[in-house]
Structure 1
Amino acid sequence: MPSSVPSFAELLGACQHSAIHLEIRDSYAPTPRFEAWQRGDRITWEDRASWWHPYDQLIADTVARGVVIRRARIVSEPVSEYIRWEHYVTHANVTAGEQVRWLPRRQATGLALPGNDFWAFDETLLRVHHFSGDGAVVEDEITDDPALVKHCVTAFESVWERAIPHVDYQI
Structure 2
Amino acid sequence: MPAGTGGKLLSMAQRRAFHLEVQDDHTVSNEDEPMRRWRAGLAPLDPDNYPPDWKRWEDLTDEATTRGVALQRVRVVTEPLTEYIRFLHAVTDRNQAHGEDIRWLPRHNVDPSEVTVDEWWLLDDEALAWTLFDGQGDFSGFALTRDPVEVARAISVRDTLWPKAVPHNTYEPGTR
TM-score by length of 2: 0.82
Work out which of the residue numbers 131, 139, 142 in structure 2 matches 1:140.
142
Compute the displacement of 1:107 (Å).
0.4
Compute the displacement of 1:139 (Å).
4.8
Aligned residue number for residue 38 of structure 1: 39
| Pair 1:163-2:161 in alignment | no
Structure 1 residues 132 and 109, CA gap change in structure 2 (3 angstroms): farther
Aligned positions of 1:69-108 closer than 5 A:
69-108=71-110
Aligned residue number for residue 7 of structure 1: 5
TM-score by length of 1: 0.85
Aligned residue number for residue 21 of structure 2: 23
Q: 1:28 touches 1:134 (CA, 8 Å); kept in 2? A: no
Structure 1 residues 91 and 48, CA gap change in structure 2 (3 angstroms): farther
Query: Within 1, Cα distance between the matches of 2:114 and 2:26?
Result: 22
Aligned residue number for residue 120 of structure 2: 118
Compute the displacement of 1:43 (Å).
4.1
SS in 2 for 1:74: strand
Residue identity in the other structure for 2:74: A
Residue identity in the other structure for 1:35: R
Deviations 1:93-151 (A, max 9, x none): 10001101000000012542222000111111111013357633355211111110110
Structure 2 gaps, min length 5: none
Compute the displacement of 1:34 (Å).
2.5
Aligned positions of 1:49-60 closer than 5 A:
51=50, 53-60=55-62
* Root-mean-square deviation (Å): 2.4
Residue identity in the other structure for 1:94: Q
Structure 1 residues 39 and 50, CA gap change in structure 2 (3 angstroms): closer
Query: Within 1, Cα distance between the matches of 2:47 and 2:100?
Result: 16
